[in-house]
Amino acid sequence: MRSEFAGGRADKRGVTPARFYCIFRGSVATPIQHSSQVGARLALVAGRLVNVPAACAIYLKLNEFSVNLEFETEPKSLAGSDVTSSNLVLQQARILQDQFKELYGQNARVYCAPGRVNLIGEHTDYNDGFVMPVAMDMYTWVAAAPREDTQVHVYSRNLSEHAEMDLRDTNLHLQGHWSAYVLGVAASLRLAGQKVCGANLLVEGKVPIGAGLSSSASVEVAAGFALLAASGLSVNPVELATICQRAENEFAGARCGIMDQMIACCGRANYALMLDCRSLEFQLLPLFPDAQFVVCNSMVKHDHAASGYNARRADGETATRILSGEIPGVRALRDLTLMDLERFSQSLTEVVYRRTRHVVSENARVIAARSALERGDPELFGRLMRESHRSLRDDYEVSCPEVDMLVELACEQDGVYGSRITGGGFGGCTISLVQRSQVEEFGRSLAQRYEQATGKKSDIYIFQASDGAREALQ
């Protein structure tokens, strides 16, 4: 088993040994110990069961660029898939490769990065808190080939538009334009000291835009991966995630946290990722074998850069500044307890107090959700989801009537453990935890009742938990 980045996709299939170690030194992944692979790629769909390791924990420390993967050998039954999903990935990659040849007259390599759905832990990432996303099998695709100059040319299949830049110019003004998510990454790679060369890129996004499924981070990570590979370079996944976050913050104008880029880089099929957004340590947690997470799109689009997203981040910074003067050791809202908050609540305005209460209580819910996954307790996980939605609706105020309706209708149905808004909010999607035997009826009934209540047709995504960014054709 090998673990690589940019020069080749990470092989993240199941392993039978007790331990595997890989140390990233600079930009090179060096295997220290490895063992045999077993089985096919794992993915999450209804109805099929495969055996995989009972527990998997991955911890990654940014200061050492080290990864420690530990696997127990006793098998656990998880939901799996046949080769259908892999075949679709290959088909899409070949189509894009042919389109690139027609557009640029070059042969291209093709890369993909997934969207994500956050199971729990909303608006905690930019407060140094905890999150628990899953990479989805919806991808942004980038075909790429190097140029002999310092130009980066990109064509969007979705928009039928072209954009370009010179890599020597990192003083770009791209806010409000789609190219910020691609050219901003190229500029950020240069600013980070990566000597990327010119490249031709063809981009096609399959992650729904404005649905809260992280289409922007998917574009950024796929583009960054492609630009590095076209230049014969590689970086470790966490470094690429931070570079892509910088692009979204500085060039796209959205002050997002690190979660979306991290899951696009580090996701693993069949697992949720619990991330500490301060240390960037993360743990992979197996999903429930008998329950399925289902995403429902309200069809109400949001726009982080033009909405209250940045305002809520500013509220958190205000609370941190005030409370750090009252409580030693407070660097972010992550460092507060609810007892701390209540003790000094009079120091905050009502709005800032409620914003802070959401973040502090949500961090506690993520920690409890980890225990629910480890114990295989979907009832507890569902209760935490419902609590999270109430907090996001009432304290953080990022929901909307349509999303609230979706959550309410979901929780009324048989076999549903819990439901909540997911993503940045102000529209977008919900995520529900549903008994596997009830998933088909759940999707049919929810879509019907939501349309009757709102006049909108909801898209229902019964997704597979995917691996992170990788080369699609090898």
Q: Catalytic amino acids?
A: 260
201: left (phi over 0), alpha (psi -120 to 50) or beta: beta
| 8 A C-beta contact, residue 471 and residue 14 | no
The enclosing H or E element of 272 equals strand 271-276
CA distance 167 to 22: 33
Q: How far apart are the first and last CA of the chain?
A: 16
CA distance 451 to 444: 11
CA distance 56 to 53: 7
Transcribe 311-332 into DSSP letters: HHHHHHHHHHHHHHTTSTT-SS
| 8 A C-beta contact, residue 250 and residue 33 | no
CA distance 244 to 176: 17
> Pick from 96, 123, 127, 124: which is nearest to 109 by CA?
96
CA distance 331 to 329: 6
Looking up tokens 């913050």 gives 249
The number of C-alpha atoms within 13 Å of 299 and in the hemisphere containing its C-beta is 10
CA distance 99 to 299: 30
CA distance 228 to 149: 15
Residues facing 77 on adjacent strands: 51
| 8 A C-beta contact, residue 297 and residue 458 | yes
3-state secondary structure of 323: helix
**Residues contacting 455, CB < 8 A, separation 6+:** none
CA distance 256 to 244: 11
**Residues contacting 98, CB < 8 A, separation 6+:** none
- Burial (CB < 10 A; 0-12, 13-18, 19+), residue 128, is buried
Q: State CA 61 to chain mean position distance.
A: 19
